[in-house]
Every structure is written in structure tokens, then in C-alpha cells.
């Protein structure tokens, strides 16, 4: 059980720009926080939360906080019977694909994603007919139907490394056109000749950032380090000191000593750094993802209490088998390159 003072102690350094966490505010959250902690124990459930969700969830009730790669890996290795995935729907679906015998719930019925919603499985099947020689690589921000049509999945933490190591030099990358363009630049700079075709999706949050914003921050804050998510445009990643997943950016900030940092991604990461690395100075503005923000303590408590079937991820077994090959291919590639690094 947790007290309002304990929650406040964890969250006292957070300033989201729209709220901060006074003891009074924490007192409002505490009844729900404790109800969730109790239900979680009774139901043998694990709560996985993406870095972008609100701090009272991350530091009140979550068992693990991370990026889409880390959370998928934890989901597939977890021993609990029930997984509560507090993020967006495609992430909960990925957990179900990797753990089909477990009950997996998401906690926001409106948990879309502008990338995952940009292309259907049927559209990918049609593209495959048009491009039979290409290896189809999908970003994890896709539906189970799309994953079932693709050869291998990637996340922002391994996309560059996997694309580089694929043997086929004809790649169809989907659904993020900006990430695909970043890959084209990266491979060209490394002297690797691969054709990257792509579909036209984008993240509605990350596409709003522009290069002028980075120029402005560099002028205002001498020595600033700029960390950018690869869902941003190449004109933005080009100006970054570091490009990587939310987990990668977190580690970069933690392990380096710049006088200030700009985090060119969703606001949730700034709150996480404010809590876990309060000595780091974060400057500039950030944007919220409305889908991630739709997760609440209320919904988590409701799902745990009622096992409301509306929130349960249910997937056809055939679909799970096909989509799981696509995701497991990613884990094998990552394991292969990790062991090559160690040897």
C-alpha cells in the first residue's frame, strides 16, 4: 500500500507544463492507486506501462515502464496469468501475440495510433503481390493483421541495426514514411546500397517537430544535447546529437553530462527523466499523444476489477501464429547481433 506522501515524494519534481503533483493532488489518486495494487495481487496480474503514460500510473501502479521493445520482451517472459498493458492497442496486441495463453487487457478503448491505423493487412497483402522480390519489414506500430503479412518486425530501438543486417537489398518498410526516409539517409551515409520502398503513414505527434526549433534551442542554450526519436523527419534527426527509441533517449540522457537536453519526442519521457534523473535540465516544449493520454487509473481499476471483455485482446489463433513469426524474427535478429557483439 502507498501513502499520498510517498507518491508525492516520487512525483514532486514533475512539471508536465499542464500540471504538477502536490500532496493534495496525490491524495486524490491514492484510493485508486491502492485499489489497483490490491487487485493486481489478488488477480496475479502484471502492469506494463509505456513511458508516455501519465506519471501517477508509472510511479503509482506499474510493475515495468519502458519502450515498446522492452515491454514486449517483458510480456513474453512474464509468469503472471494476466497482463494489463497501459499504452496503445497495438502494444497490447503484441503482448497477446507473444503470450497467447495469457489474458491480455489494454486500458483505453480509444488506444489507436496514427501509424498503426494507417495501413491494413489487406493493403500489405496487395503490396506484396506488387513487390514480390522485397522483404517486408514492419514497425511494431502496426496491427496484428499487418504483422501477419510481414517478414520481420522492428522497433525504434533496433530498426537501424536490423535493416543493415538484412541480406536482401530490396526492402519494403511500413508504415512510417519518415522512419523509412531516415533509414535511407543512414544506409547511404554508411555506403550500404539498399532500395527502401515505403508506405505513407506518419506519427501525428513526431511529424510536428521541425529543424528550426532545434536551431532556436541551440542558440538559446549553449552546449545543449538534442535527442530525437526516429519517427521525426530526416531534417530533424539530421540536427540531433542522438537518435533512438524512448528507452535509448532515456539512457543517453542518464549517461551523458550535457548542461541541458531537448527531448524531441512525446512529453511523457520528460516527466520520466524529471522523476528518475532530477538533476538533468530539460528545456524546450514537447507534444502529447492523445492515445497514450487516454489511459487513466480509473480504467485500470475497472479492467482489473471486472475483467471487462471489451478491454480484452482477442486474436484468432491463425493470425497469432503468423504475426508471432514476424515478431520472433526480430528477437532472433537482436539476439544474434547481441551475441556477435559479445564474441
Q: Which residue, 48 or 292, has its beta carbon nearer to ligand SF4?
A: 292
Residue 288 sits in the site that holds ligand SF4 (CB under 6 A): no
- CB hemisphere CA count around 88 (13 angstroms): 21
Q: Which residue, 33 or 143, has its beta carbon nearer to ligand 13P?
A: 143
Beta pairing class for 135-139 and 170-174: parallel
* Contacts made by residues 272-278, CB under 8 angstroms, sequence distance 24+: 272/51, 272/55, 272/58, 272/65, 274/13, 274/14, 274/15, 275/10, 275/11, 275/13, 275/14, 275/55, 275/58, 275/59, 276/250, 277/253, 278/13
Query: With CB cut-offs between 5 and 8 Å by kind, which of ligand 13P, ligand SF4, none does residue 83 bind?
Result: none
Interatomic CA distance for residues 307 and 223, integer angstroms: 50
User: Strand, coil or helix: what is 266?
Assistant: strand
Residue 33 sits in the site that holds ligand SF4 (CB under 6 A): no
Which range, of 65-73, 125-133, 217-225, 329-337, touches ligand 13P by CB under 6 A? Answer: 65-73
Which range, of 5-13, 288-296, 299-307, 316-324, touches ligand SF4 by CB under 6 A? Answer: 288-296
Which range, of 30-38, 66-74, 189-197, 335-343, touches ligand 13P by CB under 6 A? Answer: 66-74
Query: With CB cut-offs between 5 and 8 Å by kind, which of ligand SF4, ligand 13P, none does residue 114 bind?
Result: ligand SF4
Residue 67 sits in the site that holds ligand 13P (CB under 6 A): yes
Q: Which residue, 32 or 213, has its beta carbon nearer to ligand 13P?
A: 213
Which range, of 11-19, 62-70, 170-178, 333-341, touches ligand 13P by CB under 6 A? Answer: 62-70
Site residues for ligand 13P, 219-248, by CB under 6 A, read 231, 245-246
CA 220-229-99 angle, 5° bins: 150
Query: With CB cut-offs between 5 and 8 Å by kind, which of ligand 13P, ligand SF4, none does residue 57 bind?
Result: none
| DSSP for residue 116 | G
Q: Tell me: cis bond preceding 297? Omega within 30 of 0 counts.
A: no
CB 280 within 8 A of CB 253: yes
**Among the listed residues 156, 184, 199, 202, the single contact to ligand 13P using CB under 6 A:** 156
Amino acid at each position: 500500500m502507498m501513502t499520498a506522501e510517498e507518491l508525492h515524494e516520487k512525483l514532486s519534481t514533475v512539471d508536465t507544463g499542464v500540471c504538477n503533483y502536490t500532496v493534495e493532488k496525490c491524495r486524490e489518486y491514492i484510493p485508486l492507486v491502492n485499489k489497483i495494487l490490491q487487485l493486481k495481487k489478488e488477480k496475479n496480474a502484471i502492469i506494463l506501462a509505456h513511458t508516455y503514460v501519465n506519471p501517477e500510473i508509472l510511479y503509482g501502479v506499474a510493475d515495468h515502464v519502458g519502450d515498446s521493445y522492452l515491454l514486449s520482451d517483458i510480456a513474453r517472459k512474464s509468469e503472471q496469468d494476466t497482463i494489463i498493458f497501459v499504452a496503445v492497442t497495438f502494444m497490447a496486441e503484441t503482448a497477446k501475440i507473444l503470450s497467447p495463453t495469457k489474458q491480455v487487457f489494454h486500458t483505453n478503448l480509444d488506444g489507436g495510433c496514427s501509424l498503426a491505423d494507417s495501413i491494413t493487412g489487406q493493403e500489405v497483402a496487395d503490396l506484396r503481390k506488387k513487390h514480390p522480390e522485397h522483404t517486408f519489414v514492419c514497425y511494431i506500430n502496426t496491427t496484428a493483421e499487418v504483422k501477419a503479412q510481414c517478414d520481420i518486425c522492428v522497433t525504434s530501438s533496433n530498426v537501424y541495426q536490423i535493416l543493415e543486417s538484412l541480406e536482401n537489398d530490396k526492402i519494403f518498410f511500413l508504415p512510417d514514411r519518415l522512419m523509412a526516409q531516415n533509414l535511407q539517409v543512414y544506409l547511404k551515409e554508411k555506403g550500404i546500397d539498399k532500395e527502401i520502398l515505403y508506405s505513407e503513414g506518419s506519427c501525428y505527434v513526431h511529424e510536428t517537430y521541425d529543424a528550426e526549433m532545434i536551431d532556436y534551442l541551440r542558440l538559446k542554450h549553449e552546449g545543449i544535447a538534442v535527442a530525437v526519436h526516429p519517427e521525426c523527419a530526416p531534417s530533424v534527426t539530421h540536427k540531433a546529437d542522438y537518435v533512438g527509441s524512448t528507452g535509448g533517449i532515456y539512457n543517453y540522457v542518464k549517461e551523458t553530462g550535457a548542461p541541458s537536453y531537448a527531448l524531441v519526442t512525446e512529453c511523457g519521457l520528460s516527466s520520466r527523466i524529471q522523476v528518475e534523473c532530477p538533476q538533468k535540465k530539460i528545456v524546450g516544449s514537447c507534444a502529447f499523444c492523445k492515445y497514450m493520454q487516454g489511459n487513466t487509473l480509473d480504467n485500470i481499476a475497472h479492467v482489473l476489477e471486472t475483467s471487462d471483455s471489451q478491454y480484452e485482446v482477442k486474436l484468432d489463433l491463425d493470425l497469432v501464429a503468423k504475426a508471432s513469426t514476424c515478431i520472433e524474427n526480430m528477437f532472433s535478429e537482436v539476439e544474434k547481433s547481441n551475441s556477435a557483439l559479445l564474441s
